Amino acid sequence: MQRNDAARRNGVATARRRQLSRRVQPVACHGALRRAAPAAPEVTRLIAVSQFGAGAPIELSPDGTYGTKISSPEMEVILQLRGGLNIAAAAGIHDAADRDDGAKVDRRGDALLNNGEYNRRHNAVLRKMHHCVTAVAIGSLVLGDKDDKERTDALNETCHVDLAELEGDDTTGGDVLYEVKVPSALTTSWSAGKGSAEKGGAPASCGHTYAFGNTEEKYRHMILGCRRRGRRRDEPLKHSTGKGYVQEFKGSDYDALVVKKSRVIPAIVEAQGGLTPHLVAHIGHLSRRAKGKGARDSTKYGRSRTSTRSFVVHHVQRISTAAQQYSARSVLRSIANGKRALAARGLTGGACHNAMGAA
């Protein structure tokens, strides 16, 4: 009897070990994939589209209002960009480029996405951020103007301001400034982050390793700056160990942060739809203003029965959808420009590549 019980226990333990090994194996394979192909764009894409908010165009409940309308061509491009598939609408100009000079063409649309159409995408996300802050604002809001920097010099002299809530800091009563950035996680530029002996470490491109690795560090450093770290005689900062020297850097919002003692929120939203954790946390902070006695929330939630009534989910969906929808529009506009260039210049390779942004 005791022998049977021991055999049964051994059998259960063996089955448990096999079950655990099956759970651990995908994780180990994923780590091997990242080490084997550190610059592979598809690993970066997989991580980027897996972040909070990135699935907003699919999860958004359509209710007939303008904010929930996504045309079929735009949705097709959004899904193809998410999955790393060839852009079907661009097949004609891609085939023409291959026949004309045989040069390598980026059929997955990343070059089209990064082909210079940044203002529309930025302004669309800025409008959604404005709606988010306005819904629960406790101070007056100021929208900056890129062409009229003097308008917001009283808030920040070192850089123009995208959005500001005057006296909107619940803790100090100071101003809150929002700097909106909508970069793509999939760009041809890449940095090893080795820095130099004079300036120390530098932001590294690590989107293949962790979320927002190609965008967040770069733009937070650009906006907020950083303090000096380590000693000048030390080696430049190594991201793998966290040790080394980094030179002090004054960011674009130095005047607002240090001189005027304002709070600066880097509102970084990737073109793939993901919102950085710092921005999501701040939206969560704003949502607490909409709760409790005397709270105010002027958010216009969806009309559908399946539309969310959560402040955080609603605004994350609208911000992420704006980033991805206008990215898709940028791709479609680049395709239209490529077709016009091919028609006007008789399918010349130079016209095709200049219009499409060949890889």
Higher pLDDT: 297 or 200? It is 297
Q: Is the domain of 126 the same as that of 260?
A: yes
Rounded-to-integer distance, Cα 358 and Cα 341, Å: 14
pLDDT at 17: 46
Q: Which of 233, 249, 268 is the last residue of a domain?
A: 268
- pTM comes to 0.82
Residue 59 included in any domain? no
Higher pLDDT: 92 or 323? It is 323
pLDDT at 32: 46
| C-alpha closest to that of 357 among 165, 70, 93 | 93
| DSSP 3-state of 34 | helix
**Sign of the C-alpha dihedral computed for residues 29, 34, 36 and 37 taken in this order:** positive
Rounded-to-integer distance, Cα 331 and Cα 139, Å: 38
* Per-residue DSSP letter, 274: P
Residue 72 included in any domain? no
pLDDT at 10 over 80: no
Residue 243 included in any domain? yes
Phi, psi at 111, each rounded to 5° = -70, -40
* Cβ–Cβ under 8 Å, residues 316 and 53: yes
Domain total for the chain?
2
Among 36-45, 73-82, 102-111, 177-186, the range scoring the smallest mean pLDDT is 36-45
Among 106-120, 121-135, 279-293, the range scoring the smallest mean pLDDT is 106-120
Q: Is the domain of 123 the same as that of 264?
A: yes
pLDDT at 49 over 70: yes
Q: How is residue 310 written in tokens?
A: 């959560």
Q: Is the domain of 21 the same as that of 155?
A: no
Residue 137 included in any domain? yes
| C-alpha closest to that of 327 among 65, 70, 40, 66 | 70
Question: CA angle at residue 142 from 136 to 147, to 5 degrees?
Answer: 145
* Per-residue DSSP letter, 176: E
| C-alpha closest to that of 184 among 76, 86, 330 | 330
Q: Is the domain of 138 the same as that of 16?
A: no
Q: Is the domain of 31 the same as that of 134?
A: no
Q: Which of 221, 245, 268 is the last residue of a domain?
A: 268
pLDDT at 97 over 80: no
Residue 307 included in any domain? no
Q: Is the domain of 17 the same as that of 123?
A: no
Higher pLDDT: 146 or 34? It is 146
- Give every CB contact of residue 55 below 8 A, 6+ residues apart in sequence: 49, 273
Q: Is the domain of 32 the same as that of 157?
A: no
pLDDT at 94 over 50: yes
Question: pLDDT digit string (tens) for 186-214?
Answer: 887 777 777 787 778 888 888 888 889 89
CA distances for 215 relative to 35, 212, 327, angstroms: 20, 5, 16
Angle, helices 91-101 vs 349-356, to 10°: value is: 140
pLDDT at 353: 52
Q: Confidence band (pLDDT; 50, 70, 90) for 134?
A: very high
Compute how many other C-beta atoms are within 10 angstroms of the C-beta atom of residue 244.
18
The chain-wide mean pLDDT, for the chain, equals 82
Residue 70 included in any domain? no
* Per-residue DSSP letter, 164: E
Residue 301 included in any domain? no
Q: Confidence band (pLDDT; 50, 70, 90) for 359?
A: very low
Q: How is residue 186 written in tokens?
A: 């999939």
Q: Is the domain of 29 the same as that of 167?
A: no
| C-alpha closest to that of 270 among 22, 29, 40, 44 | 44
Q: Is the domain of 9 the same as that of 134?
A: no
Q: Confidence band (pLDDT; 50, 70, 90) for 111?
A: confident
Q: Is the domain of 6 the same as that of 137?
A: no
Beta strands in the chain (DSSP E): 141-143, 163-165, 176-181, 263-268
pLDDT at 35 over 80: no
Angle, helices 277-287 vs 119-135, to 10°: value is: 30
Rounded-to-integer distance, Cα 340 and Cα 338, Å: 5
Question: pLDDT digit string (tens) for 227-264?
Answer: 888 888 888 888 777 788 888 889 999 999 999 999 99
Higher pLDDT: 205 or 17? It is 205
Which residues constitute the domain of residue 190? Answer: 119-268
pLDDT at 187: 81
pLDDT at 22 over 50: no
pLDDT at 2 over 70: no
Question: pLDDT digit string (tens) for 58-90?
Answer: 999 988 888 899 999 999 999 999 998 999 988
pLDDT at 103: 64
Higher pLDDT: 68 or 348? It is 68
Residue 240 included in any domain? yes
146-166 as b/e: b if 16+ CB within 10 A: eeeeeebeebbebbbbbbbbb
Q: Confidence band (pLDDT; 50, 70, 90) for 288?
A: very high
